[in-house]
Structure 1
């Protein structure tokens, strides 16, 4: 009987915790463990400890599978990392830093630096890499916005993107706040309401110097004759 000690860490960002069911499967070079359920109620910044019992030694742990199951309502979970200690004391680290949404199984590769990769020896790692590339190719496709314009992502809105490629709610709120501030500033200075051409560079400089864009106004200097 081989016993593995597992520590699962939840990120410390806003709403990172979850009440949904989370379980884990350890995958080694000699086999894999049974799916083991972790305790519920994951709080932001918390860590959960559990033991995984296997009938035999799994060999080097090459990846893990995190299974998320929705009990009643959807409650996304942000996994920071997972650390697995083998029976011989070897520590395996699995950095994740991803959101898990809905009913999903996420495979995470072992993240320790190695001098020699074992991808060519283990078919399961080859398959994992192939599925990862296919998923990225499907998620990130290009489309032509307009003839002569640079291509853009084939989505109608940033909300259609996966949560892991969107800005965090804190960063998004910061951007929206900065945008509202700049629009208000330009409205008060008369920039947004101006419908005629600029009369001089001094007029442009007088408007931009009242906002954080004063560096732009400072660049509006005619070169000497």
Structure 2
């Protein structure tokens, strides 16, 4: 007898992607076994925004309580750009819904495993299969996030020339920063021309100047500055 689990994958595109087609394999893992490897895909026509992908995952018998999912064999054309996954939900044949938080970019040539339910400290895991996956996950993270001493006596900093993709700002956020920088720079130049900023001689004059373009944050800074 063949059973089907209804799976919904929630993805997003926080960074500009020129890939037109993406595909990834998923395997459901339960306390009684594993499902068949199933591929899901998306035609990337919108380039930005969130998406939901629904598809059935077949298995020859009941998997029991779902404990995790495995994602692997990702590829995209014409460019191998990362694919950001928010979460995965799987509904069993009897209506039980399992949720797998991801919040991570998926890259090619790498295998991923995500546990079901809320986050848990590795030492509190009780299922042997999950313990093995968590140990591997910790070792992988230790290779990425390492500390180095910049100068003796100073706090340690990250030993990396570039941050992992998920630790950086999205394309839209970088564009917003760039636009705000240009606008505020233009305002400063205009203020310097029209109000002679070099004539500011005390904090009261600075406060009067800031009040002309007051925001919640700048108001808080002015009221709490020490």
Cα deviation, residue 136, structure 1: 2.3
Contact 2:20 2:77 (8 Å CA) reproduced? no
Tell me the residue number matched to 2:52. Answer: 47
Cα deviation, residue 217, structure 1: 9.4
RMSD: 3.7
User: Whole-Å Cα distance in 1 between the matches of residues 170 and 86 of structure 2?
Assistant: 15
- 1:97 pairs with 2:103: yes
Which of 132, 139, 159 is the equivalent residue of 2:137? 132
Which of 111, 115, 128 is the equivalent residue of 1:109? 115
Q: Note the alpha carbon deviations across 1:69-119, whole angstroms, 9 max, x for none.
A: 2454213222222111112221111122222233332212112699xx982
- 1:163 pairs with 2:165: yes
User: Whole-Å Cα distance in 1 between the matches of residues 157 and 184 of structure 2?
Assistant: 25
Contact 2:150 2:156 (8 Å CA) reproduced? yes
Highest relative contact order (Cα 8 Å, sep 6+), 1 or 2? 2
User: Whole-Å Cα distance in 2 between the matches of residues 86 and 216 of structure 1?
Assistant: 51
Structure 1 alignment gaps of length 5 or more: 191-195
- 1:62 pairs with 2:64: no
Q: 1:38 to 1:202 in 2, by over 3 A?
A: closer
What does 1:1-225 align with in structure 2 at a 5 Å threshold? Answer: 1=1, 2-11=3-12, 13=14, 15=16, 19-41=21-43, 44-67=49-72, 68-111=74-117, 119-120=125-126, 122-156=127-161, 160-190=162-192, 200-201=202-203, 215=219
Structure 2 alignment gaps of length 5 or more: 193-197
Structure showing the higher helix proportion among its residues: 2
Q: 1:19 to 1:178 in 2, by over 3 A?
A: same
User: Whole-Å Cα distance in 2 between the matches of residues 52 and 167 of structure 1?
Assistant: 34
User: Whole-Å Cα distance in 1 between the matches of residues 183 and 151 of structure 2?
Assistant: 30
